[in-house]
Structure 1
Amino acid sequence: MRCVGVEIEFGGLDGLTTAVFLSEELGGEYRQTDPFAYKVTGTSLGDFEVMLDTSYAHYKGKSHKFLDEVGARLANLFGAAAELVVPYEIVTPPVPMDRLGKISKLLRRMAESGASGTETSVFFAFGLHLNPEAPSLTAGGILPILKAFALLSPWLWRSIDPDPTRRLLRFAEPYGCDYVRLLADPSYEPELARVIDDYLAHNPTRNRDLDMLPLFAHLDEGRVRARLPNEKINGRPTFHYRLPDAKLGDPGWSFAGEWNRWVTVERLAGDPERLKEAGRAYLAHEGSEEAWSDKIAGIIGA
């Protein structure tokens, strides 16, 4: 059973209230790790983290006592101010796919308890990130999903219609046309090293709707670091899907709906002939992205 990590940003609840809520809903114990971060351990799903979503509020000492004290004070001051505009974030443990219903229920209960989403204010740009475990750490296990996502990206953008603030801040940019055309070619079936090199050449940034850097760093950190020595990347054996909004206060939004869109990607990836058909159709397409959204929707039966 593959697992999925979930990261969700929200407003309306502070860190302590959220940590208490998680421990009451899922069991376990919470403890504060800094003024704006908590760990909730021993829950029915594993260990959770709750934190203000900015590294500047979480000072980690460097063994210089005076500087540590100054750094901690500055972090506390920054965090106190940032709480007004910066969301808190829950980071789940890896959750087996057949238990994701518990996450969906948990987020519904959070909304009922006052958690809010990106729809609350024009200044908010809250995201939901999904980290599905790769089916295998080979080119054959990774490339079909990457191809399917690239071909479905315009349809996903139209279906999700991300918040304008997130679009303005460019947190999750789509792949460029040249890279999508490379992936769309049914004959593009390289070895893993070239898959990584081609991705890095076209996408030297974390800010992609499907960020492959964590997975590629897990597989070949030296290759990724040679191209991006200063980018903040935590290697892990998962895809990092960054596109969906987090809309906890919107009654028409659900975690299940966002997860099912990802399932659509994996279904196309798991159908080699349909994936090749979609690739050939993309290469032959001469219209707008909107027209391609309609065409790919017809291919997948959406």
Structure 2
Amino acid sequence: MTQQRTHSYPPLPAGDGPERRCGIEIEFSGLTEDDAARLIAETLGGDLREAGHRAFEIEGSALGTMKVELDTALRKAGARPLIEMGLDLARRVVPVELITPPLTTADLPVLDGLRDALRRAGAQGSRDGLFFGFGVHLNPETPEDPLMTARTILAYGLLEDWLHMANPVDPTRRFLPFVSPWPPSLVDALVSAPDASLDELFGIYTDHTQTRNHGLDLMPLFRHLDPERFDVVVPSAGPVSARPAFHYRLPDCRIDESDWSLRVPWDSWMQVETVARDSALLWSLCDDWQAFRYATGVLRREPRRQWAEHVAMRLGDDGQKTAA
């Protein structure tokens, strides 16, 4: 079993409901998928089995069923010589992906211990190579209260530029279309309809974007809420696994850095959750956004920076608002 880290993780706000869990995806290089899968089984226990071409599952581990795969559609084409050659050539830029089941906050220190074991075995993150556009994706379960889900979406839209400033994204991921900012027009629409239902938010969101390549990807959530409507409204989205969760894709993976832990992306998302539950701050930011948009027009690079600095001022404490 892995040695647990000392990091503690504040729970996702749940009100009077059950604890909200969070699935996590970690992209990295430096290890093959089979070497990574064996290390996970050695570290967390469980039974290792192949689950497809260049894909593995570790069943019965300390964290449940873990998945490891080479993160490319090419692997699904099967084991043919030319495909295998292409996969081997692409390995420097195509990540291995570790996928967890939904975890509780008590599980996260165990996952952080595994992250450290992968680092010591040679796993490499976003900043270890020029073309390593690797990320950590959080999949927090949505709150039981649909209103809080809607306010979390609104809070992210208002905080996104600040999140980019507070934890700058690696240049490779910034220049490739992995975590493109939401269009300002989408934030305009969210601010103009702060009491929108999730059904209305489905329409607002898909009116302004048809891609999953954002720091917060809501396509899995909307497909969960209304799969038939989703297939009609977003036919170009490609395969989307429905799940009652946010898909937070913004954070870099810095698995090779000894002073980094999963607490970094966790704290980043918790800022969004905290602002969503601070009604006075949320409505103030909505008013500020409308005034800022009126003053600056279409947000270009410099106005985005100005808005991020304004949000930092609103949050106080050097841009940090501690989760309750």
Q: 2:155 maps to which residue?
A: 148
Deviation beyond 6 Å, 4+ runs, structure 1: none
Match of 2:132 among 102, 120, 124: 124
- Cα distance in structure 1, aligned partners of 2:96 and 2:127: 15
Q: Answer whether contact 1:137 1:219 (CA < 8 A) is retained.
A: no
Question: Shift in Å at residue 35 of structure 1?
Answer: 4.3
| % same residue | 34
In 2: Cα distance, 1:103 partner to 1:112 partner: 14
Aligned partner of 1:279: which letter? C
- Determine if contact 1:35/1:76 at 8 Å carries over to the other structure: no
Instruction: Show the counterpart of 1:10.
Output: 28
Whole-angstrom CA distance in 2 between matches of 1:54 and 1:277: 43
In the TM superposition, what is the alpha-carbon distance from 1:292 to its structure 2 partner?
A: 1.5
Contact 2:68 2:98 in 1 (8 A): yes
Count of aligned pairs: 290
Q: What's the TM-score, normalizing by structure 2?
A: 0.85
> Aligned match of 2:307 in 271, 287, 292?
292
**Residue 112 of structure 2 corresponds to residue 97 of structure 1:** no
Alignment of 1:5-84 (within 5 A): 5-59=23-77, 72-84=80-92
Tell me how far 1:208 sits from its aligned partner: 1.2
Answer with 84-93 or 250-259: which moved more: 250-259
Partner of 2:223: 217
CA distance in 2, matches of 1:252, 1:281: 36
Gaps of 5+ in 1: 61-70
Q: Is the 8 A contact 2:95 2:134 kept in 1?
A: yes
1:18-57 Cα distance to aligned partner (Å, 9 max, x none): 1111111111011123341111110111101111110111
Q: Select which of 66, 69, 93 maps to 1:85.
A: 93
Alignment-derived partner of residue 7 in structure 2: none
* Pairwise CA RMSD: 1.7
Structure 1: distance between partners of 2:307 and 2:109: 32
> Do the aligned residues in 2 keep the contact of 1:9 with 1:89 (CA within 8 Å)?
yes
Q: Distance in 2 between matches of 1:141 and 1:170?
A: 29
1:119 partner SS: helix
Report how far residue 257 of structure 1 moved.
1.1
3-state SS, counterpart of residue 51 of structure 2: strand
What letter is aligned with 2:139? N
1:271-301 C-alpha deviation (Å, 9 max, x unpaired): 1121111111111123522222122112223
User: Partner of 2:122 in structure 1?
Assistant: 114
Whole-angstrom distance in 1 between the partners of 2:181 and 2:156: 10
In structure 2, runs of 5+ residues without a counterpart are 1-18, 297-302
SS at structure 2 position matched to 1:39: strand
Which one of 208, 225, 231 corresponds to residue 202 of structure 1? 208
Q: Does 1:135 align with 2:135?
A: no
Inter-CA distance 85–209: structure 2 relative to 1 (3 Å threshold): closer
Whole-angstrom distance in 2 between the partners of 1:284 and 1:18: 50
Give the letter aligned to residue 109 of structure 1.
Answer: A
* TM-score after normalising by structure 1: 0.91
Letter of the 2:274 partner, please give it: R
